[in-house]
């Protein structure tokens, strides 16, 4: 699907694309250069550009724009647009066009593996695509990274604002397949980085908060996907390290009509908390409803916890009153705790783009990712290879997410601020902050240990 473009003098290119074709690379800042060929309209908006002349290169976002994540991902695209607008659609001497691409399908109601593969091949085949901001879902990233890694001219820089599956960048003993992460980088060179902390951090943060709330016996569920199983595993390990007994660990079937029998089984274990490792898209609302139907309200004897795959207003809207009292985590600090450039950006973004809506935490991550990609392009010689190199050399000081750099794997290091912080929300009729915390290093280590 396509987004409705803002009437801000947006320069539309290529409303109809018959086929992909390789085109000659343009020179940076050549206002008289030939317009780039657009990515397919079946997945992406037309090229958005507000600068002089024509774009030299295209930066694409790759996010699920259909399904339960749509509210978040539309905001993320708006945040990227704001960064481009603030920089007058330029990265140094280079003119940058933007296309927002959808990796979801209406049939799936979420990201789709075929769409992720199709999009990745489109990016690789269009030599004007100089960077990709995405993906939102780690399972989609696992499909896309190897394709972009092998793209002509040294691969394409990929910056994720939201992927938290650890095995995309490292091999956690006992938590990753033996082929991970090497299978994602067939050239042997890294082209992927992320600003979101991986799930060894999230699992540690959630487990610490469970301990604070007095949880003693935890039942861990997952939705069978890479992300869901990963965050369920790190949370289980962190909880065990903190002395919380694990009453069970299993998957729910996203296609099931009812989960009441599953929760009756959990009831028999005496668990005083349940963790849902996965996505709201995977029939999560029904899981929440059946948990409450069998085990009672979430502020009662059995508490309910979920990770960032559930942390959206859509969870409250879809699950209705059953969501009340459940705890949901997300990377970053609450918006009302922003300061400096982060507060300036958030205030301006809220006023100019959101029409009174609340800022989603991942919008700030998308904006930070966009800034890093544009800085890498600005500091490069205009080749894909050099953009990747400059992305890995990035050092952010007092940025939207604090201060950090990237290690050789593409993960944030030497981090302070929101990059290592988490917010735990409690569901009412909206997401309300319960606590902001940074997980203890020893608990993070335990979450990623064998």
Expressed as residue numbers, the domain containing 66 is: 57-197+338-417
Task: Output the pLDDT for position 418.
Answer: 64
Write the CB contacts of 130 (distance below 8 Å, at least 6 apart in sequence): 57, 58, 59, 96, 156, 157, 377, 382, 384, 387
Asked if residue 316 belongs to a domain, the reply is yes
Assess contact for 131 and 56: CB atoms under 8 A: no
Same domain for 216 and 360, yes or no, is: no
Q: Rounded to whole angstroms, what are the CA distances from 92 to 30, 43, 389?
A: 12, 28, 16
* Sheet with 402-406, side-by-side order of all strands: 395-399, 402-406, 412-416
> Closest Cα partner for 404 from 365, 437, 439?
365
H-helix segments, 222-359: 226-241, 260-269, 284-295, 313-319, 340-353
Distance in Å from the first CA to the final CA of the chain: 42
pLDDT digits (tens, 9 = 90+) for 79-106: 999 999 999 999 999 999 999 999 999 9
User: To which residue do tokens 């001497």 refer?
Assistant: 93
Asked if residue 270 belongs to a domain, the reply is yes
Same domain for 433 and 286, yes or no, is: yes
Q: Given pLDDT bands bounded at 50, 70 and 90, which one contains residue 327?
A: very high
Task: Output the pLDDT for position 8.
Answer: 36
Same domain for 320 and 214, yes or no, is: yes
**Residue 299 is part of a domain; what is its CATH number?**
3.40.50.2300
Q: Given pLDDT bands bounded at 50, 70 and 90, which one contains residue 331?
A: confident
Quote the CA–CA distance of 159 and 185 in Å, as a whole number.
15
> Closest Cα partner for 272 from 228, 302, 231?
302
Same domain for 316 and 362, yes or no, is: no
- The answer on pLDDT for 64 being more than 90 is yes
Same domain for 225 and 350, yes or no, is: no
pLDDT digits (tens, 9 = 90+) for 104-163: 999 999 999 999 999 999 999 999 999 999 999 999 999 999 999 999 999 999 999 999
Same domain for 193 and 229, yes or no, is: no
128's tokens = 């004007």
Same domain for 148 and 265, yes or no, is: no
pLDDT digits (tens, 9 = 90+) for 272-315: 999 999 999 999 999 999 999 999 999 999 999 999 999 999 99
Quote the CA–CA distance of 333 and 444 in Å, as a whole number.
18
Assess contact for 273 and 300: CB atoms under 8 A: no
Quote the CA–CA distance of 291 and 304 in Å, as a whole number.
8
Q: In sequence order, what DSSP letters do the residues of 88-123 get, joined into one string?
A: TTEETTEEEEEEEEE-EETTTTEE-HHHHHHHHHHH
Assess contact for 218 and 244: CB atoms under 8 A: yes
Write the CB contacts of 313 (distance below 8 Å, at least 6 apart in sequence): 71, 358, 430, 431
User: To which residue do tokens 């942390």 refer?
Assistant: 311
Write the CB contacts of 348 (distance below 8 Å, at least 6 apart in sequence): 82
Residue 337: CB atoms within 10 A of its CB come to 14
Quote the CA–CA distance of 39 and 183 in Å, as a whole number.
27
Region 373-395 average pLDDT: 98
Quote the CA–CA distance of 390 and 271 in Å, as a whole number.
49
Q: Rounded to whole angstroms, what are the CA distances from 270 to 210, 258, 344, 351?
A: 16, 21, 48, 48
Cα 264 from chain centre: 33
Same domain for 203 and 297, yes or no, is: yes
Asked if residue 164 belongs to a domain, the reply is yes
Same domain for 184 and 89, yes or no, is: yes
Same domain for 296 and 433, yes or no, is: yes
3-state helix vs strand vs coil in the chain, percent to 5:
35, 20, 45
Q: Rounded to whole angstroms, what are the CA distances from 67 to 64, 210, 368?
A: 7, 30, 24
Q: Given pLDDT bands bounded at 50, 70 and 90, which one contains residue 1?
A: very low
Task: Output the pLDDT for position 419.
Answer: 72
Question: Vertex 316, ends 314 and 317: CA angle to 5°?
Answer: 60
Same domain for 312 and 265, yes or no, is: yes
pLDDT digits (tens, 9 = 90+) for 255-268: 999 999 999 999 99
Asked if residue 293 belongs to a domain, the reply is yes
Q: Give me the number of domains the chain comprises.
A: 2
Asked if residue 144 belongs to a domain, the reply is yes
Q: Is 409 exposed, middle or buried (0-12, 13-18, 19+ CB in 10 A)?
A: middle
Same domain for 381 and 291, yes or no, is: no
Phi, psi of 84, rounded to the nearest 5 degrees: -65, -45
Assess contact for 427 and 323: CB atoms under 8 A: yes
């Amino acid at each position: 699907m396509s987004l409705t473009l803002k009437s801000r003098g947006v320069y539309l290119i290529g409303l109809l694309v018959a086929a992909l074709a390789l085109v000659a690379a343009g020179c940076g800042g050549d206002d008289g250069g030939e317009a780039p060929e657009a990515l397919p309209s079946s997945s992406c908006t037309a090229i958005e550009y507000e600068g002089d002349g024509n774009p030299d290169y295209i930066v694409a976002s790759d996010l699920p724009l259909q399904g339960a994540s749509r509210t978040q991902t539309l905001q993320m695209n708006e945040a990227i647009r704001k960064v481009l607008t603030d920089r007058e659609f330029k990265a140094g001497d280079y003119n940058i066009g933007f296309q927002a691409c959808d990796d979801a399908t209406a049939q799936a109601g979420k990201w789709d593996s075929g769409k992720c593969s199709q999009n990745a091949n489109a990016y690789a085949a269009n030599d004007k695509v100089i960077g990709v901001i995405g993906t939102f879902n780690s399972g989609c990233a696992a499909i896309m990274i190897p394709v972009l890694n092998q793209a002509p001219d040294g691969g394409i820089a990929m910056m994720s604002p939201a992927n938290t599956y650890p095995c995309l960048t490292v091999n956690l003993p006992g938590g990753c397949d033996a082929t991970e992460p090497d299978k994602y980088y067939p050239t042997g060179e890294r082209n992927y980085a992320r600003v979101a902390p991986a799930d060894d951090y999230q699992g540690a943060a959630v487990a610490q908060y469970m301990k604070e709330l007095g949880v003693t016996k935890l039942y861990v569920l997952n939705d069978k996907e890479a992300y869901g199983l990963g965050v369920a595993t790190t949370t289980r390990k962190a909880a065990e390290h903190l002395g919380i007994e694990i009453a069970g660990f299993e998957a729910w079937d996203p296609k099931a009509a009812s989960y009441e029998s599953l929760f009756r089984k959990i009831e028999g274990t005496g668990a005083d908390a349940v963790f849902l490792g996965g996505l709201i898209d995977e029939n999560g609302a029904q899981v929440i409803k059946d948990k409450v139907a069998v085990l009672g309200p979430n502020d009662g004897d059995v508490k309910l916890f979920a990770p960032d795959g559930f942390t959206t207003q859509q969870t409250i809207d879809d699950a209705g009153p059953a969501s009340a009292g459940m705890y949901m985590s997300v990377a970053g600090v609450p918006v009302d705790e922003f300061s400096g450039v982060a507060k300036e950006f958030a205030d301006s973004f809220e006023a100019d783009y959101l029409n009174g809506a609340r800022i989603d935490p991942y919008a700030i991550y998308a904006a930070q990712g966009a800034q890093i990609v544009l800085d890498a392009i600005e500091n490069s010689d205009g080749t894909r290879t050099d953009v990747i190199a400059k992305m890995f050399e990035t050092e952010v000081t007092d940025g939207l997410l604090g201060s950090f750099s990237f290690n050789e794997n593409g993960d944030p290091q030497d981090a302070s601020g929101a990059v290592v912080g988490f917010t735990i929300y409690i569901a009412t009729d909206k997401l309300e902050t319960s606590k902001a915390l940074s997980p203890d290093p020893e608990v993070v280590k335990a979450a990623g240990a064998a």
